[in-house]
Structure 1
Amino acid sequence: MDETRARVVLDAAGLSHDATLLALGENAVFGAGELVVKVGRDAELLARAERELAVAGWLEAAGVPAVRAAEPAARLVQGHPVTVWHRLPEAVRAAEPRDLAPLLRQVHALPAAPFALPPRELLGGVERWLRLAGNAIDPADAAYLRERRDGFAAAAAALTPHLPPGPVHGDALPRNVHVGPDGPVLVDLETFSSDLREHDLVVLALARDRYGLDAAAYEAFTEAYGWDVRRWEGCGVLRGARETASCAWVAQHAPVNPRAREEFRRRVTSLREGDAEVRWYPF
C-alpha cells in the first residue's frame, strides 16, 4: 500500500479533509485536525486493529499513559482496516530510552487483560512480508529467512524466562513514546501481547548493538527499568528472532523502494555471514 492508495481509503471513509501523512509502514498514519487516522495495509490486519482499540481502553482504565481512541470500533474500508485516534499535543522533545522504561514498568506490573491477548508472534509476520516482497528479493534469501525463522521459533518456545510472563507492548522503542506537556505516553499499541516480558527489553538491546543506540542511553534505560536483559541467558535467542523479523519486515517495501532493497541486502548479508557488527539503519 502506498500513500495514493491510502488516501483513496481515507476519502471513502470520509476522513480525508486536510489529512497529512505522518508515517507509512505497516499502516499509513495521517493527521487530520484533532484526529489521527491509521489505515492498515490489508484486511488481514482487521483483528489486530480491533485488538489495539481494546488495549487502548484497557490501558486508560488502568491509568497507564497511552494514546486514546476517538472511535470505539475499527472500520473495514475497501479492504483496509481504519481506526481513528485522538491526536496528542505537540511533543515538547524527542523521546529517549529513559522515557520508555517507567512506561514498561507500568505495563509489566499489569495483571492479565480482561480480553484475550495473543502471544508475541514476533516471527508471525515473516511469511506475509516475504510474500509481499515477491520477486524484488532473491528467492534464496527468502528461503534462508524462512529457515532461520523456524529455528528461532523453536528455540524461543523452549526459553525459561527471568521475569514473570504477562502483558507486553511488543515493540518497545522510543519512537513509540510521545513526550507531551504532561509527560511520556505510549503509542502504537497494535503489538500488545501476553508473553515473556523480556521481549520488550531485547528491543533496545538490539538497538544498542545494531542501530547505533548510544551505550549511555541504553544504560539509562536499564537503570530506570531496574534490570539489563543482556544478563539473561535467553537474550541471544530473542535477539536473533527479532533480527530475523526486522530483516523480513524491510523486504515488504522492496518492490517499490530502492532504499528498502539496499537495506534488506545489508541485513540479510550480515545475518548470512554471522556478522553481528554490521550497522543496520532504521527504515
Structure 2
Amino acid sequence: MSIATIDPSGGLTRDNLRSLLVAVCAERGLDPDGAELIKFTNNAVFRLRASPVVVRIAGSTAARDRAETVVKVARWLATHDFPAVRLLAGPEQPIRLHGQVITLWEHVPETGARPGGAELAVLLQRLHALPRPPAGLPNWRPMEEVRQRLAEPEELDAGDHAFLLGECDEIEEQLARLRFALPPGLIHGDAFVGNLIAGPRGAVLCDFDGTAIGPREWDLAPVAVGRLRLDYAIDDHAMLVKHYGVDVTEWDGFPALRRLRELKLVTSVLPILRSNPGIRAQWEHRMRTFRARDLTTRWQPYR
C-alpha cells in the first residue's frame, strides 16, 4: 500500500502502519526490517530489531494533538533525571510525515521483575513533588479527548454513539461538582501499572499523552478502577495505597472518577475498531456491560 493512501484522519491498519514505519525509518536512517508491532490501541508502537529504538505512531486525532505535550514532558523529565522513557537523540520531534505524527524513543530493555503498585506509588510521589512543571502544560480536560475519539469512531452503532455522548455530558456535570481533597498539580494522567517498564535500573514510567495540570486523585484512580473492573491476578491497588498513603476509593468523589475511567477504557479504541479487529470482541463486552450499568462483570486488557 502506498503511503499516499493512508488517511491522515485515522484508519491506520497493520499494512499501512508498516508502510509508514518504512518511510520514517528511511528518513531517519534506521532499519525497519524485523520490527515488531508491540502495541496497537490508541497508538501503534513498533520495536526495531536492528537498533534499540521504539517508534510510536499516533492512532487518532487526540493522540496527534497531544504529541507536542508528550515531547515537552519527556524532555522536562530528562532534565530532572526522572526514571522515564527518553526520546531518541537527534532531529526535532515529533515527526510529521504524510499526515501522521510519530515519535522515536530509546528502547528500555525489560530485564527486571514486573513493577507493581508499590513502584508506581514511588514514581507518582516523585512526579508529584517535581518543581515547576513545563510552561504551557494543558489543564486536565478529560472530556476533550473522549469527545475527539467520539468524533472519529470506526463502525460505531448510532445508538452506542448517542449513549456515549450522553455519558460525556453526565460525567462532565458530576466532575464539575467534585471537591478534590488533594492539592492539584502535575499529573501523569494515565497512571497504571501498564505504563511502567521493568528497566535494568528499576521501574521506568512511559506514556505521557494525558500529562496535565489537574487533580492528584485522578492519578490514583486507574489502579483502583483496575482492581474493581479488570481481571488482574495481582492487587496493585493495595500496594499503591500502602506506599502512596492515600486510598482514593475512600473519597466520596471516587464513583465519578470510576465512571470517567471506565468511559475512557471503552472509548480509547474507537478510532481503530475496524483497523484492529482483534480488539472488537473485548470492546463489545466492555460496551455492553458499561451501558447496562453493570459494575461487577470483569473486563480483559485489549491485546
> Is the pair's TM-score, using the shorter chain for normalization, greater than 0.5?
yes
What is the TM-score when the length of structure 2 is the normalising length? 0.86
- In structure 1, what is the Cα distance between the partners aligned to 2:40 and 2:22? 17
Partner of 1:76: 96
Which residue identity is paired with 1:180?
G
Partner of 1:211: 230
Q: Who is 2:7 aligned against? A: none
1:35–1:86 Cα contact (<8 Å) kept: yes
Tell me which residue corresponds to 2:58: 40
SS at match of 1:29: strand
Work out the CA distance in 2 between the residues paired with 1:112 and 1:218: 28
Q: Counterpart amino acid of 1:28? A: A
Equivalent in the alignment of 1:269: 288
1:159 pairs with 2:178: yes
Residue of structure 2 in register with 1:27 after alignment: 43
Secondary structure in 2 aligned to 1:36? Answer: strand
Q: Which residue of 2 aligns with 1:254?
A: 273
Judge which range, 195-204 or 13-22, deviates more.
13-22
CA displacement, residues 3-42 of structure 1 (integer Å, 9 cap, x when unaligned): 2212211222214523222211222111121111111125
RMSD: 2.0
Unaligned runs of 5+ in 2: 1-11
Q: Secondary structure at 2:299's aligned position in 1?
A: coil
How does 1:41-56 map onto structure 2 within 5 Å? 41-42=59-60, 45-56=63-74
Structure 1's unaligned 5+ residue stretches are none
2:61 and 2:149 in contact (8 A); partners too:
no
Give the 3 Å change call, closer, same or farther, for CA 111–158 of structure 1 in structure 2: farther
Kept in 1, the 8 Å contact 2:94–2:102? The answer is yes
Q: How does 1:100-115 map to 2 (within 5 A)?
A: 100-115=120-135
2: CA distance between counterparts of 1:123 and 1:223? 30
**Kept in 1: contact 2:41–2:268 (CA 8 A):** no
Q: TM-score normalised to the size of structure 1? A: 0.92
Specify the alignment match of 2:168 in structure 1.
149
Q: How far apart are 1:259 and its partner, in Å?
A: 4.7
CA distance in 2, matches of 1:147, 1:204: 25
- Percent identity (aligned): 32
What is the alpha-carbon distance in structure 2 between the residues aligned to residue 69 and residue 215 of structure 1? 31
Does 185-194 or 269-278 show the bigger shift? 269-278
Q: Is 1:122 the equivalent of 2:142?
A: yes
Aligned to 2:256: 237
1:64-94 CA-partner distances (Å, limit 9, x unpaired): 2111111442110111111111111233222
